[in-house]
Structure 1
Amino acid sequence: MGLVLVEDKSILKTVFLDFKQLTKVGLSVSVVFTSIAGYLLGADTIEFTTILMLATGGFLMVGASNAFNQVIEKDIDKLMQRTKDRPLPSGRMSPTIALTIATLFTISGIVILYAINPKCALFGAISIFLYTSAYTPLKAVTPLAVFVGAIPGAIPFMLGWVAATGKFGIEAGFLFMIQFFWQFPHFWAIGWLQFEEYNKAGLHMLPMDKKDKGAVVQMIFYTAVMILISIAPVLKSTGSLYIYPITAIIVAILGLLMLFYAIKLYKSESNLDARKLMLASVFYITVLPIIYVIDKFLH
């Protein structure tokens, strides 16, 4: 009896871990965090019901995109060390179960976002569609896939603002652009670290498909654009989205940290500096929304 219970617990643990891997729970939580920050920036009065719906809808939206992605790429995932133990390539989960989870997540996520307002549901649907129907297949065709993937990846920050205001204006556009341009140095740093693995699997994840100084020049360029857009609200030209000069200085310093590691990578072309750039980018996109929200509540 005790052995059966231990086996049952072990099976349940495996199922739970596979579900976490299929839907990339960690990534989904970070998206929820950014969406809530966007909501707090846009809201005049905070409604906790809307925050809960946004968090749930956003979580389901990202979970669905990742599940569809892993169904489409199950054979490619078998070829890479980093992904070969995922539930589908390892054979622990069938594509039918994964597709069922992805479909249920999609329907539930869009329904919940629609209950906030129709624009939220529209952006949620666009995000899932572009990620699964454009970005995922394009990765095996062209490095331009990263540009396409940056569109759904940039929706969360903006989605929070749209949930709070029901409008897509210049403010939501700026929040979208911050996250859009941030993704290039972030994903290209990952592409640099995983270049050999991606190459083996036939995925094009670096600009011009080369691990060279030319790729790093593009990382530097997009980091610089991201910094300029992130501090632009200090000029009071972005509608009701405004930050204090001291906030702009802090945000600029955060961005310069990324730029510092991008320049170091240009000089060294080493995986160590690519990893530092990737970690600096994660730090940036985690801290920036918090700084923006604190700034808003100081107004």
Structure 2
Amino acid sequence: MSKVSNSSIAKLSVISNFKEITKMRLSLSVVFSSIAGYLLGADEVNFYTLLLLAFGGYFMVGASNAYNQIIERDLDALMERTKNRPIPSGSMSVQSAFILATVFTVLGITVLYIINPQTAMFGAISIFLYTSAYTPLKTKTPLSVFVGAIPGAIPFMLGWVAATDDFGIEPGTLFMLQFFWQFPHFWAIGWFLHDDYQKAGFNMLPTGKRDKGTAVQTILYTVWTILVSIIPVFGFTGELKLTIVGAVVVFAIGLVMLYYAIQLFKKKTTIAARQLMLASVLYITLVQIIYVLDKFIR
């Protein structure tokens, strides 16, 4: 009985470590964005390509997250939120994490290259920027959020490139939408986790403080996100189109996120920041779904 029990515990530990080191929930949300971008760009849906994109996307994001946790292992040990991650907790060695990250990198680039070389190139760029620029800058400057927003905005446009093997105004617009969205999203997280981040020396808020300046910038970037989200309705974005009904719905959802950004400005509390973070997650998910539905039902 003890052998069976120990074996089950070991398997659960491996699964748990895998989920944590690759940040499974985050990785799956990135895969969701990529699939949405693919459906927007594809004239005909190729399920083989869709499968490759899903696996390739997960490999790339999982690799980025693993590299990030290797680099930040000593800092992760200082924060309540991250001290129980596999490496700082001792449940996974740095060597094992590095092997997994390397294998995922090779698999990710290979799988995305099978789709087309441009998709693989953008996937490789996202890993490089996340690990070599965003991660080391987090302890140096609040501009790290700007740098991190670049690889964070790639997945939505990556799907379009996977479908069309072309980079133009359409994937560029998808990129800008997710790029601007990340500022209110990550500043909200940076706000309610500010004290924990300070333990590791992370500078995530634009002013370095939970103050009026940070709240105002959060509102501004929320407004820019909303404006970018409705640009396709005006016919300036090539094959990326949005009906008037779709634009109205997208705009209305944006106003909900803006409401919570304004509430953060008024209240300046961790609760308001957490509410904005949740609203931002709901916003980007619904906008991507509406974009796709708008294409297929118009």
TM-score category of the 2 structures, normalised to the smaller one = over 0.9
- Distance of 1:46 and 1:86 partners within structure 2: 38
Partner in structure 2 of residue 39 of structure 1: 38
- Distance of 1:224 and 1:210 partners within structure 2: 21
What TM-score results when the alignment is normalised by the length of structure 2? 0.99
Residue 200 (structure 1) shift: 1.3
* Deviations, residues 78-137 of structure 1 (Å, cap 9, x unaligned): 000000000000111110100000000000000000000000000000000000000000
- Distance of 2:189 and 2:153 partners within structure 1: 17
Provide the secondary structure at the position in 2 that maps to 1:208: coil
Gaps of 5+ in 1: none
- Distance of 2:192 and 2:145 partners within structure 1: 15
Partner in structure 2 of residue 21 of structure 1: 20
1:243 aligns with 2:261: no
1:265 aligns with 2:264: yes
Partner in structure 2 of residue 108 of structure 1: 107
Residue 151 (structure 1) shift: 0.3
- Distance of 2:283 and 2:215 partners within structure 1: 18
Partner in structure 1 of residue 76 of structure 2: 77
Percent identical pairs in the alignment equals 61
What is the one-letter code of the residue matched to 2:202? L
Partner in structure 1 of residue 206 of structure 2: 207
Provide the secondary structure at the position in 2 that maps to 1:88: helix
What TM-score results when the alignment is normalised by the length of structure 1? 0.99
- Distance of 2:277 and 2:24 partners within structure 1: 19
* Deviations, residues 4-51 of structure 1 (Å, cap 9, x unaligned): 101110111011101110001111111111101100000001100000
Partner in structure 2 of residue 91 of structure 1: 90
Count of residue pairs brought into register by the alignment: 298
- Distance of 2:32 and 2:66 partners within structure 1: 20
Provide the secondary structure at the position in 2 that maps to 1:207: coil
Residue 285 (structure 1) shift: 1.0
- Distance of 2:106 and 2:2 partners within structure 1: 39
- Distance of 1:200 and 1:211 partners within structure 2: 15
Partner in structure 1 of residue 7 of structure 2: 8
- Distance of 1:166 and 1:80 partners within structure 2: 42
- Distance of 2:173 and 2:76 partners within structure 1: 35
Partner in structure 1 of residue 138 of structure 2: 139
What is the one-letter code of the residue matched to 1:282? V
Partner in structure 2 of residue 118 of structure 1: 117
Residue 73 (structure 1) shift: 0.2
What is the one-letter code of the residue matched to 2:75? I
- Distance of 1:191 and 1:289 partners within structure 2: 24
What is the one-letter code of the residue matched to 2:241? Y
* Deviations, residues 61-83 of structure 1 (Å, cap 9, x unaligned): 00000000000000000000000
Partner in structure 1 of residue 227 of structure 2: 228
Residue 208 (structure 1) shift: 1.9
- Distance of 1:200 and 1:290 partners within structure 2: 38
Partner in structure 1 of residue 154 of structure 2: 155
Partner in structure 2 of residue 284 of structure 1: 283
- Distance of 2:136 and 2:78 partners within structure 1: 16
What is the one-letter code of the residue matched to 1:257? V
Provide the secondary structure at the position in 2 that maps to 1:209: coil
Q: Which contiguous aligned blocks of 4+ residues in structure 1 show a shift greater than 3 angstroms?
A: none
- Distance of 1:254 and 1:296 partners within structure 2: 18
- Distance of 1:14 and 1:94 partners within structure 2: 13
What is the one-letter code of the residue matched to 2:229? S
* Deviations, residues 223-256 of structure 1 (Å, cap 9, x unaligned): 0000000001000011111101111110011111
- Distance of 1:292 and 1:175 partners within structure 2: 10
- Distance of 1:184 and 1:63 partners within structure 2: 22
Partner in structure 1 of residue 168 of structure 2: 169
Report the RMSD for the aligned CA atoms in angstroms. 0.6
Residue 210 (structure 1) shift: 1.1
- Distance of 2:21 and 2:167 partners within structure 1: 31
- Distance of 2:80 and 2:297 partners within structure 1: 47
